[in-house]
Structure 1
């Protein structure tokens, strides 16, 4: 949900209420991010066990009436959703320990150690489908189109992204770490991470990245800071994500900063890190924006869709 200083409490309560009930998500989290134009986004990241469960939730009266409301087209608030269906064979997760707290780790808690990590290309090799499919972008010219200038406030815009768009969510949790480690992470690692995200957001076409949200996580009331963050973003393909992670100075600096933290604390690191990476087939990633800023999410590539 998007706001710019306006009172959003009533709409937030309505959104939160949609997640209650038997067909609600199996895992649910909340955070706050700032958009390219300074807009505040209250973000709820919800995971269902199957497409059928998600479809059932969409048809509940609370959800259906919320998204059909024409009243949302007016006023200072915006509402958006970015929805995806993730085949298991096109996904990989990696965590620094076995105490992962959110997302897919809360749906499938049977976590297993892997030797396929710690080298460039290991993320691709953890994706089962990569054994027989390089998963290139289905529309490599999609991001090369100049941004559309169509006004998006007061409109409802839907967009479907090309096949093999790559989504990444990363996790950073210092809630259980001692003060010395927290200070080291916030002083030496987190600022380097922010530089990398700024590069991606400021150079979207060059990086082939639709954008990266930096999300500060809170409890469901929105009042308690959990001392955790997520990054959430989309790349044109797994290959373009790999190009940034393997070769760009901003990500190499992030990698080195994390290694330095491990060395500083002699491998006994309580800051928990991890990520989820998925490569989505054609038709499995779509978005809807109601009364949102032109720079929100995929809207720069909507071209009046």
Structure 2
């Protein structure tokens, strides 16, 4: 995310969580199939489990995208302010029964669950307008001076006061494609993997602001996310998904989009952001958009980030293709 001086001086906000103690929980759950309608059909039951089961998430969002292997993915992101509530949901009869049967009924469908349970002080949210997104919908917004300079991401993470978040790995692990179809797999990440979610919400924007985004920002953002994947060895990008937000109730397309990425370390993406021309162009274009605006900006161009210790990440990949998520980078265990 690029942050303008104007955002710093006016309405920039972070998220605080007075009611949160210990760890939160975020579950990214995806259904993949080569046929769009079959992926959507398989996701319908999951939607009910997430919205109606005991201890349902405090915030639930839905997305869709087509991955590099041509599979259509229906994706849910579920947020719980307390990990204990997630565990209650997970252990409920309906959910535990569903998980135990995953992959056994239809071998053409892949299911993946990437569950993060970090302490709240390993999280940050930043937005240029007074609007909540992501985990911030379960907290409160507060003004902050930690915007408008390189390093703001890090400084907004409370744990950065005592943790440098250094990766134990000197470089990206080698990619190793594995036999994954027909299997239930898990893996273990190293400490200090960085998860970033960035979002662009133009649902409140007028025609002029939307036009400025299309003409000034859209292509440079796509160039930046594209180069992160293309140069994954340099950027430390394990996986990046660019997804369209859709309504979790009626499946209609929303005026929002999101990108989620797992990265080797925060320092790696910090270096790329301040030195690669693709991100410098994003930064310059965003500042220009704010400075030259003849309207009050209402678009929310926001980001949230978790720093994950090894024990904070619990993935399951069931009958997924070998390029799904973090599968190419780490040794897997069949479960």
Query: In which range does the TM-score fall when normalised by the shorter chain?
Result: over 0.9
TM-score (normalizing by structure 1) = 0.93
Q: What does residue 26 of structure 1 align with?
A: 58
Counterpart secondary structure, 1:54? helix
Alignment correspondent of 2:173: 144
Report deviation, 1:230.
0.9
Matched residue of 1:301: which SS?
Answer: coil
Which consecutive unaligned segments of at least 5 residues does structure 2 have? 1-30
Aligned partner of 2:35 in structure 1 is: 5
Residues 9, 117 of structure 1: CA spacing in aligned structure 2 closer, same or farther, 3 A cutoff?
Answer: closer
2:79 paired with 1:51? no
Tell me which residue corresponds to 2:109.
77
Task: Output the aligned Cα RMSD.
Answer: 1.7
Pairwise CA distance, 1:2: 0.8
Distance apart, 1:188 and its partner CA: 2.1
Report the count of equivalent residues: 301
Aligned residue in 1 for 2:47:
16
Q: Deviations over 1:202-254 (max 9, x none)?
A: 22222111121111101013531111011111111111121121111111111
Question: CA–CA distance in 1 between the matches of 2:39 and 2:168?
Answer: 38
Which residue pairs with 1:255 in the alignment?
283
From 187, 190, 196, the counterpart of 1:168: 196
Partner of 1:298: 326
Does the CA-based 8 Å contact 1:158-1:287 persist in structure 2? Answer: yes
Gaps of 5+ in 1: none
User: C-alpha distance in 1, partners of 2:32/2:47?
Assistant: 14
User: Equivalent residues in 2 for 1:1-305 (5 A)?
Assistant: 1-5=31-35, 7-19=38-50, 20-69=52-101, 71-72=103-104, 74-100=106-132, 102-108=133-139, 110-141=140-171, 143-145=172-174, 147-221=175-249, 223-266=251-294, 268-305=296-333
Question: 2-side partners of 1:127 and 1:267: how far apart?
Answer: 32
CA distance in 2, matches of 1:71, 1:39: 16
CA distance in 2, matches of 1:175, 1:115: 27
2-structure distance, mates of 1:35, 1:144: 21
